[in-house]
Chains A and B, each alone.
Chain A
């Protein structure tokens, strides 16, 4: 097949049109059989298309169909001699523009209604008192003012919902206090108490609605195996303003049981509290809580089953062992939530709640308040 130039020339020749350099083309056709055959086919095609009997359209019928579908509009009665006159304005066939403003207003109104609806329904759900999760995210912290809810406050007089986790310089600064209002749980427990809700336990703690405060020292030590076993601790009692707090157990220790497990060499086994072990179970509990698992089983006999323990680890997190602020806070919050929730659950149901794995350095301090906060 020849070049495009040859094809175009052959086409023009087949149509009978003017061809540039006709003589050269004729001379080429005389010697090239392929081009001659191509020219013959092109001519045959032209003849076929020209002579074919194609049905002629009914123009009038077609126009009637077209006219019926055209939009009715006044036809311009233009005089052919009014060429110099300015043409009338052409009305654009875009009727939707007239309704664009209305559509946009309706759309904005719908968006506003939807936003209001979402805002109304965006009230954070208050978790139940008996529900807790170790991995509870920070955003799902329950409301402070709800019954059996969890609030987290720091020793720096931070807002109730703030988690204090600035720096790691001292024990006090590392404390994360979780306050759990267990009014409901205490009420249930009080009713179950054989001694009545108003009978103060032997510890002197009058049962009343209040708060159970959980303090979790924000001290993390990596690879900590044995130091906690030898760390000093302190426990305090909420009933006596003792400068030397000591761990105390409730009057009915049979209903209170503290067990602890840990991955520390010294705390592998479970250590059960003695019937009247006011200090030891707290001690063990606190220490075990610092190293790993810690389970608090509280009896259903009200406040008598409460265990107040506080532990201060001797050593704080050293310099250079700073943890990401957010991460630490979230971890503390998760631990505080877990412990607080478990306490609430135990108080309400009297059923031991297994403790999920928390921080090694977690210590438990329970202090029952008499309807007020210490901090």
Chain B
């Protein structure tokens, strides 16, 4: 199976059979602006899982992530029709999703204040994370550790660590300066590590008793 990039979703006559054509993002955007439902659906198919995962981490529940994802793409569709300038779909969709998540949290009065989150140092006993995390259930620990972070700081860390966006893209999504993005991500990592250590140590103590 070969992957071929083309200007459209439909395979040109010269494409070998069985090929999967990945349309160029710009073409998708252009077609979506012209109310091509198939193009927008393709955009949804490509980016909805990532957007949903980000919203799942930000909002904490699956149902909230479903609602927020739908709202995100509805807004994205409206923005596309309005001619919003878009360079890359993923950062732009993440930005819309971040705004939607903030509105959801504000509606639920669970928005964690960004002001003055507590910075914690990593305990010396956890100098070796591999040893600490080896053979442990880290999914629950990660979810618990992420819940400690403030909303935007958590979003910055997720966008950097989970979705592998660049610092400049994260700065554009969150509306921050580049130095602030790096600083917030560094602080988020320190908080995350401290929370992981605490959670894992507490879990070890519970199992050890």
Binding site for B on A (CB under 8 A): 1, 4, 7, 15, 37, 40-41, 43-49, 51-59, 61-63, 65-67, 69-70, 73-76, 78, 80-81, 83, 87-88, 90, 92-93
Contacts and interface: CB of A to CB of B under 8 A. Distances in A.
Interface string B1-38: 00000011110100000000000000000010111111
Contact of A41 (B41, B82, B129): B129
B56 A54 contact: yes
A93 B66 CA distance: 26
Interface string B52-83: 11001000001001100110011001100111
Nearest to A50: B162
A45 B161 contact: yes
Interface of B: 7-10, 12, 31, 33-38, 40-41, 44-45, 48-49, 52-53, 56, 62, 65-66, 69-70, 73-74, 77-78, 81-83, 122, 127-130, 133, 138-139, 141-142, 161-162, 164, 182, 186, 189, 192-193, 196
B86 to A, nearest CB: 15
Contact of A55 (B37, B41, B62): B62
Give the most central of A44, A74, A90: most B CB within 10 Å: A44
Tell me the interface secondary structure of chain B in the complex.
helix
A304 B128 CA distance: 116
B139 A93 contact: no
Contacts of A93: 78, 81-82
A45 B192 contact: yes
B48 A57 contact: yes
A54 B158 CA distance: 14
Contacts of B83: 90, 92
A299 B31 CA distance: 98
Contacts of A48: 133, 138-139, 141-142, 196
B37 A75 contact: yes
A73 B161 CA distance: 39
Given A56-B49, A57-B52, A73-B35, A66 B142 contact: no
Contacts of A73: 35
A4 B196 CA distance: 24
A77 to B, nearest CB: 9
Given A75-B35, A80-B7, A92-B82, A66 B128 contact: no
A49 B161 contact: yes
Contacts of A70: 37, 40, 74, 77
B41 A62 contact: no
B35 A66 contact: no
Nearest to A63: B44
A44 B129 contact: yes
Given A59-B48, A78-B31, A80-B12, A41 B189 contact: yes
A69 B70 contact: yes
